[in-house]
Amino acid sequence: MRRRTIELAVVLVAAMGVEAWGGTRVPPLETKGGAPAEDGALEGRRYIGSGEAPSGEKFKGEEADLTAGDALKRASTTPATTEGDFVVKDFRFRDGESLAELRLHYATLGKPERDAAGRVTNAVMILHGTGGSGAQFLAPQFAGELFGAGQLLDTAKYYIILPDGIGHGKSSKPSDGLHAKFPQYDYDDMVAAHHAVLEHLGVAHLRLILGTSMGCMHSFVWGETYPESMDALMPLACQPVQIAGRNRVWRKMVMDAIRNDPEWKGGEYTTEPRQSLRTALDLLLIAGSAPLLMQKTLPTRDAADKYLDDYFASRMPGLDANDLLYAVNASRNYDPSPGLEKIRARVMYVNSADDFINPPELGIAEREIRRVAGAKFVVIPISDATHGHGTHTWAAVWKGYLAELLEGK
């Protein structure tokens, strides 16, 4: 009954278009991998920082005790949000380009609470990954673990802000009409836009910034650029240095595939350059996949072949070459390493051991995070609960560390 219940919930999650790697829509493989972790799944974790390793109980997969009704409810209920658009006039990008009107979309959950001086005291901002949007955090494996009554980010207690970054979701992007004439935004521009959204909402200080993948990198930029603007940072799945090595190589391969496709036509195509998009999707699949999960879920050649067919059928529609090219290229000058000592917020930094994009054997995270006063770094070991790079979106795996961060430990 337990297996049947989980599989039923998984089917519903897949139908909702859950976003795991950088926010892109995940085909059935990734959603089917959400089997509960056994007791002790986080044993052997590596914990780096000035504090001691947490002494809490071992991770226990909550899904194991779900009834069929609970599973259906969790998989089919989307939290209520308030959505809005803020238009910035004459937004100037870091390279000197400007846009007469930059539309910034956002969604909020909960209500702001204010102190005697009128300052918002309960705001939390959550930042999405490359190709994603704030809407990805409404999926059950994230919202269902964090936003409910009595949960860590209970919307009755916190004012949750989910912005769509420049070039993503419902915010301004190349496919709106400017195509390759759209300004070449970078991560500093995206963080400046986040800041503009907060000003529009009347939020001067954040209780927490939590970011996944690209949002993880944005959180480091936030911590350096506005060091007094938040109490805590939780970066998930990234490195606090410039993008180099294999990470840079696969990104450049995606961009080159698009730029070198004759059908791209310098960005002024009338139909999508499908061959280059297929190549890009190949690379995104490899970068975001988890070997253990794939082997367990696709144990035969036929299963693997069918998965790949389904993957392209679900990903290709709605994908825009310019939007993808710009989104990947936005990381080109990211490098927070020179200013890590500027970060003043408490930091709980989490990566997973099966992350192809940020493999722990590089040792970069452990080395660099020691430069941030009081920061803690965790590598979650590979288990049935991890999803490679996409582990950042499965809150059940890492929410114990979020609890530590919120408690100020």
Convert the pLDDT of each residue in 106-126 to its tens digit: 999 999 999 999 999 999 999
Confidence class of residue 77 from pLDDT cuts 50, 70 and 90? low
Region of poorest pLDDT, from 70-84, 269-283, 300-314, 327-341: 70-84
pLDDT for residue 289: 87
Largest CA distance in the chain: 64
Q: What is the pLDDT of residue 63?
A: 31
Cβ–Cβ under 8 Å, residues 345 and 223: yes
* Mean pLDDT along residues 321-337: 98
| pLDDT score for 43 | 29
Position 79 scores a pLDDT of 81
Counting the structural domains of the chain, the total is 1
Higher pLDDT, 14 or 176: 176
pLDDT at 309 over 70: yes
* Containing structural domain, residue 128: 1-409
pLDDT tens digits along 352-407: 999 999 999 999 999 999 999 999 999 999 998 999 999 999 999 999 999 999 99
Q: What is the tens place of the pLDDT at every residue in 189-231?
A: 999 999 999 999 999 999 999 999 999 999 999 999 999 999 9
DSSP 8-state code for residue 229: S
Which tokens go with 275? 């061959």
Across the chain, what does the average pLDDT equal?
Answer: 84
Q: What CATH number did the domain enclosing 221 receive?
A: 3.40.50.1820
Buried b (16+ CB within 10 A) or exposed e, 159-193: bbbbbbbbbbbbbbbbbeeebbebbebbbbbbbbb
User: Cβ contacts of residue 321 below 8 Å, gap of 6+?
Assistant: 258, 261, 264, 267, 269, 272, 273, 276, 277
Cβ-contact 33, 63 below 8 angstroms: no
Note the pTM of the prediction, 2 decimals: 0.83
Instruction: Please tell me the distance from the alpha carbon of residue 91 to that of residue 33, in angstroms, as a whole number.
Output: 42
* Confidence class for position 409, pLDDT limits 50, 70, 90: low
Q: How confident is the model at residue 73 (pLDDT cuts 50, 70, 90)?
A: very low
At residue 40 the predicted structure's pLDDT band, cuts being 50, 70 and 90, is very low
C-alpha distances (whole Å) from 141 to each of 10, 145, 253, 310 are 10, 6, 31, 22
Helix (H) or strand (E) holding 89: strand 82-92
Query: Hunting for tokens 């998984």 — which residue is that?
Result: 10
Backbone φ, ψ for residue 339 (5° rounding): -120, 20
Q: Tell me how far the alpha carbon of residue 55 is from its chain's centroid.
A: 27
Interior CA angle at 270 toward 172 and 322, to 5°?
Answer: 40
Report the SS3 class of residue 405: helix
DSSP state of 320: -
**Separation of alpha carbons 355 and 392, rounded Å:** 10
The band of 26, judged by pLDDT with boundaries at 50, 70 and 90, is very low
Confidence of residue 318 (pLDDT cuts 50, 70, 90): confident
Cβ-contact 34, 63 below 8 angstroms: yes
SS3 167: coil
Q: CA-CA distances (angstroms) from residue 112 to 109, 115, 117, 202, 399?
A: 9, 10, 14, 9, 23
- pLDDT-based confidence at 7, cuts 50/70/90? very low
Q: Categorize the per-residue pLDDT at 247 as very low, low, confident or very high, splitting at 50, 70 and 90.
A: very high
What pLDDT, in 10s, does the model give residues 126-184? Answer: 999 999 999 999 999 999 999 999 999 999 999 999 999 999 999 999 999 999 999 99
- What's the CA angle centered on 55, arms 54 and 59, to 5 degrees? 85
